[in-house]
A and B are shown apart, each in its own frame.
Chain A
Amino acid sequence: MEKNRDQKHREDSEIIKEILRGSGPAMNELIKKYQKRVYNTAYGMSLNYDTAWDISQEAFVKAVRALPSFRGDSSFWTFLCRIVINTFYDHKRKVKSPGYAANFSDYSDDEDKRMFEVRDVINIEEDFEKKELKDRLKSALSALTDAQRQVFILKNNEGLKIREIAGVLNISEGTVKSHLNRSVEKIKNELGGIL
């Protein structure tokens, strides 16, 4: 029983060591552990279900390939967050570039091309009121700048410390605080009537 619990909550460093030794199950374990958080962080940045799917896939591919350079100075989660943010910007650049195809991935010509709308497979059971709130929320978050939205999502939804966010976004802690305060004010004003 104790052993099972230990296996379930293994340290990231231990899983990463196994991946670097070539363990497939360890890779599966690491992705499974962060899959939902990565998807939701990507969704918080992009506010688009399909884009978040593509960004999260791409971010995992980059993260696993970058594992040999992960020294463990920061937590694996902040390392992963940095990759999600970079992938988000890569995606924005690709969308803007001429000749951009429908699917984001570098592998859009391969057999893994997403052949479904992500919205169709999300577990959403919501009444009208919740839907209205979510629509307003989405519009409030869209009104933020990328940096404000990233700071707010990383702080509010992911619980990162201001110091960690500053490291992930490569900005000063003062700037993080300023983005956080502005985003809180903007969202609060946008949702004023319905909260």
Chain B
Amino acid sequence: MKNCGVSSEALAEYIFGEMEPSEASRIAGHIKECSACREEIKKLSAVSEAVKSIEVDFSGDIWDMQRASIIRKLEKKEKQNVSIFRVFSPGFMLKTAGAAALIFILAAAGFKAFDYIKTVESRQAIAGNTEMLQNLEILERLDFYEKISAGKKQES
């Protein structure tokens, strides 16, 4: 049990290099005098070294393989991205909007032309029907006058 007044937290900060230089040199001086702190520092260093030892390494070709795999994944993502970006890119959207506007204009013009043709056709049809009615009316009148003149002849 330490009773020198230096906390374990302070010793951990010292070990991990988180102390101000002046404080670190004070602790370094204290460690020389205090066997309990020396013991604690020894344990902390052992913990630190032990945890560092969990690090692993692979042979060069395994690292190469991982790198190649990462780059392939990136390229694959990039391809997917390009197609998505194409859809949402300002250029693509402008072109799409232009094409849509053109289609709309053409469709509207076509509809208008169709409407015009229909109107002309119906006007012609109306004119034709009117002429036919007028002709019928003339024929009916002629018939009427013929009947009258035939009646007058019989009376005389």
Residues of A within 8 A of B (CB): 24, 27-28, 31-32, 35-36, 39-40, 43-44, 49, 53, 56-57, 60-61, 64-65, 105, 107, 110, 112, 121-124, 130, 133-134, 137-138, 141, 152-153, 155-157, 159, 161-162, 177, 180-181, 184-185, 187-188, 191, 195
Contacts and interface: CB of A to CB of B under 8 A. Distances in A.
Nearest to A130: B53
B71 interface: yes
Given A112-B72, A157-B51, A181 B9 contact: yes
A77 B54 CA distance: 20
B56 A43 contact: yes
A44 B54 contact: yes
Contact of B76 (A107, A137, A156, A180): A107
Most B CB atoms within 10 A — which of A27, A56, A177, A184?
A: A184
A156 B76 CA distance: 36
A188 B43 contact: yes
Interface of B: 8-9, 12-13, 16-18, 43-44, 46-48, 50-59, 62-63, 66-67, 69-74, 76-77
Given A157-B55, A181-B9, A36 B63 contact: yes
Nearest to A163: B18
B53 A134 contact: yes
A32 B67 CA distance: 7
A123 B57 contact: yes
The DSSP consensus for interface residues of chain A is helix
Contact of A138 (B8, B54, B67, B76): B54
A31 B74 CA distance: 12
Nearest to B7: A181
A190 B9 CA distance: 18
B54 A134 contact: yes
